[in-house]
Every structure is written in structure tokens, then in C-alpha cells.
């Protein structure tokens, strides 16, 4: 099966600044893939090179087997992008905007699909409203609709829920999940790490233009040694001296202990019993994607796969 996106040894410079440093990625058809990193990591630059909007200084990129510069038209026909920026023509209604977007791809009879997109993205009551009269959240919905008008097999979402309300976020992800189940490849960048954790199968993390980690969501969580947090509410509200060295904080009446693995729980409980300290409440917090992300971004550049 042809990979959805193949990025091979791509470098991109802006003057002396290296925005992409020998990036290599292969995203398989049908994946729900997350591209994560702090501001300035190179995520948007990579998206622009995949879209052919910016030309890489070295390396190559293919979308569904089509070279993004040598076969630009074929590659773009197979790609839909929701940009971070709210870019729109203020002189047209929502429906007119989507019809014009369809025309860019040579599609003249697209009314039924446009109606479905409008309905699924909660734009039905705004379909005949001029774009300049829409709120920021509504404009964001139209950006998503524009990316979908030609039913591309690969969809890139660059911060699609930035500045939108919770209701839209939920309805958008329901729709995108359905597209993914139907076979569309989804590539997501987001600062809402809980979205990536809930939606994506595999993740690449960028830092200073490099891919520093590439793994499945499950492996990220299970193999990164970020530890566990044991939260305790005690009576009396104090720890035996032997446990104070693993205490990491005290929040809202809970003492927090850092554990490396589950086997440390029983020795902690044993120490509390020996000290006649009663446990009023106990919570074990497992590491999540945010913990992994912070750990990787705070460490020197090393690649994890």
C-alpha cells in the first residue's frame, strides 16, 4: 500500500536559520497521526513543505506517491489542509466560498457534499451569510469545510480547534473520526495534548526542527520513564521521614509522592502503617502525553523511536 506522506531527509533554511533539520517521516494511509512540538519547532514549516507552499532545500516529500513539487497538481488534489491562519474572502457567503473552492479542484457539481459538510460542521444557519460577518469560531469551521470540499484522502489539520468553543470541538472531532474510519489519513497539530492523546494512533515530536521522538501513543506512555504520582490525604497530615525524600509536592490537602513503578506502592503503605498514619484518600496518577511531552522537551536533543 502506498504511504500517505513520505518525508525523506528534508532540510529547510530561512537565511542562516535551520527550520527543518533532516526530517524523516512516513505516515501510512489511514493513520490518525499527531505532529507535536512547542512554538517554533518547525511544525507549520513542515506542513507548508508538504503542501508545496514552501520548497525544501534538500530531501523529498511525496503525498500518496506524488512528488510535491514535480507532481504538484496530483499531490495537491490528494491533500486538504486546514491552516492556522483565518484566511477568507470577505465578499462571498459560506456556500459561495465552498463552491469556489470546489472549482479550484475542477469540481463543478458538488452541491450535495457541500450541504453535508455545512450540516456536519454546524454551518447550516450561516450558509448564506457573508464571510466577514462570521465570528472567529465560525470562520474556523469554514476553513475546515474548505479543506474537505474535494474529498482528499489526506487531511492535515494545523491547530483546527484554536479559539473555538467546546461544542464545535466535539462535533468537529466526531466528523473527523468518521472520515478517518472511512479511510482518510488525518495529520493533526495541536497544543491541546489531550486531543492528540484521545484521537491519534502515532505521534512525532519536533524540537528545533528535528524529529526527536516517533512512536505509537501506547508506547509513548508505557516506555517513557516519567514515573507515577501517588496522591495521599493522611491523618495526621504528615509523612514518615523515610518517605519525605520522594515527596514532590503538597496540593489541595494532598501529599504527592513520585514513584518509578507500581512495586513502590506497597513499601509506601507499609511505612504509613508502621507510623500509625491513616490513609483518608489515595489516588495513583499515571503518566499521560503531557508528562511525556514536557519530559522530552526539557531533555537534550535525542531521538526516541
Q: 215 has which bridge partners?
A: 203
Q: Where are the beta strands (DSSP E) in the chain?
A: 5-14, 17-27, 32-36, 58-63, 66-67, 79-82, 154-158, 185-189, 202-207, 210-216, 228-235, 247-251, 254-259, 278-285
Q: Using CA atoms, how far apart are residues 147 and 71, in angstroms rounded to an integer?
A: 20
The parts of the chain modelled with pLDDT lower than 50 are: 304-305
How confident is the model at residue 4, as a pLDDT? 95
Output the pTM of the full model: 0.77
Question: Is the distance from CB of 180 to CB of 186 less than 8 angstroms?
Answer: yes
ω into 111 cis (within 30 of 0): no
pLDDT at 215: 85
Give the pLDDT confidence score for residue 60 in this predicted structure. 95
Surface-to-core class of residue 228, CB atoms within 10 Å of its CB (0-12 exposed, 13-18 middle, 19+ buried): middle
CB atoms within 10 A of CB 213: 24
Q: Which residues pair with 81 in a beta bridge?
A: 156
Rounded to a whole number of angstroms, the distance between the first and last alpha carbons of the chain is 23
* Segment 34-46, tens digit of pLDDT: 999 888 889 999 9
User: What pLDDT does residue 300 have?
Assistant: 60
Bridging pattern class, strands 254-259 and 247-251? antiparallel
Residue 196: the pLDDT is 83
C-alpha cell at 153: 484522502
- Determine if residue 15 is left, alpha or beta; phi over 0 gives left, psi from -120 to 50 gives alpha, anything else beta: left
Options 3.40.350.10, 3.40.50.300, 1.10.540.10, 3.40.1350.10; which CATH number does 5-222 get? 3.40.50.300
Predicted confidence at residue 20, as pLDDT, reads 95
pLDDT at 29: 94
**Domain residue spans of the chain:** 5-222, 228-286
User: What integer pLDDT is reported at residue 224 of this predicted model?
Assistant: 60
Amino acid at each position: 500500500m502506498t504511504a500517505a506522506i513520505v518525508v525523506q531527509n528534508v532540510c529547510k533554511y530561512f537565511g542562516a536559520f535551520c527550520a527543518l533539520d533532516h526530517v524523516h517521516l512516513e505516515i501510512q494511509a489511514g493513520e490518525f497521526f499527531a505532529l507535536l512540538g512547542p512554538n517554533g519547532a518547525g511544525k507549520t514549516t513542515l506542513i507548508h513543505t508538504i503542501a508545496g507552499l514552501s520548497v525544501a532545500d534538500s530531501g523529498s516529500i511525496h503525498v500518496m506517491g506524488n512528488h510535491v513539487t514535480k507532481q504538484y497538481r496530483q499531490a495537491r488534489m490528494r491533500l486538504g489542509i486546514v491552516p492556522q491562519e483565518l484566511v477568507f474572502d470577505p465578499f462571498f457567503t459560506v456556500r459561495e466560498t465552498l463552491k469556489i473552492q470546489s472549482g479550484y479542484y475542477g469540481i463543478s457539481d458538488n452541491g450535495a457534499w457541500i450541504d453535508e459538510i455545512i450540516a456536519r460542521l454546524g454551518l447550516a444557519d450561516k450558509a448564506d451569510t457573508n464571510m466577514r460577518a462570521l465570528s472567529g469560531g465560525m470562520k474556523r469551521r469554514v476553513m475546515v469545510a474548505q479543506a474537505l470540499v474535494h474529498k482528499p484522502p489526506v487531511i492535515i489539520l494545523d491547530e483546527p480547534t484554536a479559539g473555538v468553543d467546546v461544542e464545535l470541538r466535539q462535533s468537529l472531532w466526531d466528523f473527523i473520526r468518521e472520515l478517518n474510519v472511512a479511510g482518510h489519513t488525518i495529520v493533526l497539530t495541536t497544543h491541546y495534548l489531550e486531543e492528540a492523546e484521545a484521537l491519534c494512533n502515532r505521534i512525532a515530536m519536533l524540537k528545533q526542527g528535528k524529529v526527536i521522538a516517533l512512536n505509537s501513543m501506547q508506547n509513548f506512555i508505557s516506555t517513557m520513564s516519567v514515573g507515577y504520582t501517588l496522591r495521599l490525604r493522611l491523618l495526621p497530615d504528615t509523612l514518615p521521614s523515610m518517605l519525605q525524600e520522594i515527596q514532590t509536592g503538597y496540593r489541595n490537602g494532598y501529599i504527592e509522592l513520585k514513584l518509578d513503578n507500581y512495586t513502590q506502592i506497597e513499601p509506601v503503605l507499609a511505612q504509613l502503617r508502621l507510623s500509625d498514619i491513616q490513609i483518608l484518600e489515595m489516588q495513583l496518577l499515571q503518566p499521560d502525553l503531557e508528562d511525556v511531552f514536557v519530559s522530552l522537551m526539557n531533555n537534550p536533543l535525542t531521538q526516541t523511536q
